[in-house]
Amino acid sequence: MAEIASPLDPRLEAFIRRMPKAEIHLHLEGSVRPATLLELARRNGVDPPAAGEAALREFFRFRDFPHFIEVYIAVCSCLRTPDDFATIVREVGEDASAQNIRYLEIHFNPETNVRKRGLDFHEMLAGMNRGRAEARARWGVEMRWIADGVRDSETSPWSVTRTVDWITALAPDDGVVALGLGGNEVGHPPAPFAADFARARAAGLHTVAHAGETTGPETIRDSLDLLQVERIGHGVRAAEDRDLVARLVRDRIPLELCPTSNLCTGVVGSFADHPFPRFDEAGVIVTVNSDDPPLFGTTLTDEFFVLARHWGYDADGLQRIALNAVDVSFLPDDERTRMRGSFEAEFAALRQDLGLQR
C-alpha cells in the first residue's frame, strides 16, 4: 500500500515500535501465518491452497473481496482440531508480543467452524484457551474472545442464535466477553438478530457489530437502535452523516477503525480520504486496528505508522489513541483500570528514554 508520506523522526519511529498497544478488532482466522497454514494443511491431510510458503504468501495477498473470502475459507478448511486452534492462538500471542501488544480482543466464528469442520464448540474453545494461557505465561499477552455471528451464513439467523446459546452458558474463565456480528453487510441488515443480541446482553455479555464498512450509515444506526451494540466495527461510513457522527460523540460509541483493511477493500480510495482524523477531531472515540494482518499485509504497528505518516499524529496523539483501546475494552472495570495504569507508566518511561517528554 505504497502512498507518498512524510518521513518520520527516528525517535517517533522507535516510539511507535516500542509503545504499549491494545488491539480490539482482530480476526483469529484472519491472523494465521502462511507458514503455519502449510503445516496445519500437512498435519490434517488437507490440500494447501498454494504449494510452498512464497506461493501461499502471494495467495494471501488481497486482490478483491471474492478472493479475500476464498482465502478466508481456505484458512478455515485447514483448521481441524482443538490443537490447531491452540497453535494459531499461541502464534497470535507471539506476534503481538513482538509489537508490544499487551491486550487483544479477538473475533472468531464458532458456528462456521463447528458446522463445517465437525468440531465440538467446547473443545475448540478449550484449544483456544490453551493457546491463550501459553501466550499469557510466555509473553504476558492477555486475550479475550468475541464470538461472531455471521449475518450472511447459509444458516443465518439460526447460526447466531446457536452462538448465543453457547456463549451465554460459559464461565468467565472461558474468556468470551462479547457477541459480535460479521459477514457481508449488503442485503443482511441487523434487524433479524435483535432478539439474539438482547439475550446476550441479558446474560451480561458485551456486544459489538461490524457496520458501516460496505453499507452506509443506516446499518450503524440500526446496529445501535436494534442491537444496542456498545462499539461499532469499522463504522467508516458514518462520515457520510453529520447527525450520526454527533450521536457517536454524544453517546460515546467507540469506532474500531482498520485503515489498511479499508484501503485494501476499497472502502476508501486513499489514506488521505480516510475519515479517521476527522472522526477524532470531531470527538468520536476512535481506535486503530489491523483486522486480518497477513491478508492485508499489515500489523497493528503498521497501522500506528499510518497515523503518524499520513495524518501527522505525534507522540501525544498516538498515546491517546493507544489508550482509547484500553478504555473501551470489554475488561472488567478493575482490570481495565490496572491495565491503563501500567500503560501510562510504560509510556512515561518510554518517552523519557526517547527524549519525547510532554
Residues found near Zn ion in the complex (CB under 5 A): 291
Q: How far is the CB of 105 from Zn ion (least distance, A)?
A: 11
DSSP at 135: H
| Omega prior to 157 cis, within 30 of 0 | yes
CA distances from 284 to 34, 120, 256, 287, 317 (A): 36, 40, 11, 10, 14
Residues making up the chain, counted from first to last: 358
Q: In sequence order, which residues have a C-beta less than 8 Å from that of residue 47 and are 6 or more positions away? A: 41
The one catalytic residue among 111, 213, 230, 256: 213
Q: How far is the CB of 233 from Zn ion (least distance, A)?
A: 5
Q: How far is the CB of 210 from Zn ion (least distance, A)?
A: 6
* Residue placing its CB nearer to Zn ion in the complex, 142 or 291: 291
Q: How far is the CB of 147 from Zn ion (least distance, A)?
A: 14
Neighbours of 51 (CB within 10 A): 11
* Residue placing its CB nearer to Zn ion in the complex, 181 or 284: 181
Q: How far is the CB of 332 from Zn ion (least distance, A)?
A: 24
Neighbours of 340 (CB within 10 A): 16
* Residue placing its CB nearer to Zn ion in the complex, 69 or 348: 69
Give per-residue burial for 95-134: e unless 16+ CB within 10 Å, then b.
bbeebbbbbbbbbbbbbbbbeebebebeebbebbbbbbbb
* Residue placing its CB nearer to Zn ion in the complex, 157 or 293: 293
* Residue placing its CB nearer to Zn ion in the complex, 95 or 291: 291
Neighbours of 3 (CB within 10 A): 11
Give per-residue burial for 314-327: e unless 16+ CB within 10 Å, then b.
ebeebbebbbbbbb
d(CA 151, CA 147): 13
Q: How far is the CB of 213 from Zn ion (least distance, A)?
A: 8
Q: Which helix (H) or strand (E) holds 147?
A: strand 142-150
d(CA 39, CA 26): 22
Query: Could you tell me the three cell numbers for 80?
Result: 481441524
* Residue placing its CB nearer to Zn ion in the complex, 50 or 220: 220
**213 belongs to the catalytic site:** yes
Q: Which helix (H) or strand (E) holds 255?
A: strand 255-257
Write out the catalytic residue numbers. Answer: 213
